[in-house]
């Protein structure tokens, strides 16, 4: 199962606060989400990103 991801970069967000936005669908299961969170957490630790290791989930309404 794939998810659509894209960068959110300056000037849309403050300098040094780039983000990755992930778009999921109803077809994704909890296992897919857990795998994605684990992958982002691993990369964040490897890159030394200590301040934002927890994902920030903002539900679409």
Q: Which helix (H) or strand (E) holds 21?
A: strand 19-23
pLDDT of residue 42: 87
Average pLDDT over residues 52-60: 58
Integer Cα distance of 56 and 27 in angstroms? 21
pLDDT of residue 19: 81
pTM for the model stands at 0.59
**Radius of gyration over every alpha carbon of the chain, rounded to an integer in angstroms:** 13
pLDDT digits (tens, 9 = 90+) for 5-52: 778 888 988 888 888 888 888 888 888 888 888 888 888 788 776 565
Q: Which of 34, 49, 46, 44 is nearest to 1 (CA)?
A: 34
pLDDT of residue 52: 56
């Amino acid at each position: 199962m794939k998810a659509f991801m894209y960068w959110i970069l300056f000037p849309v967000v403050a300098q040094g606060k780039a983000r990755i936005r992930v778009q999921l669908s109803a077809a994704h299961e909890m296992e897919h989400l857990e795998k994605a969170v684990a992958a982002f957490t691993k990369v964040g630790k490897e890159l030394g990103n200590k301040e934002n290791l927890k994902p920030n989930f903002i539900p679409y309404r």
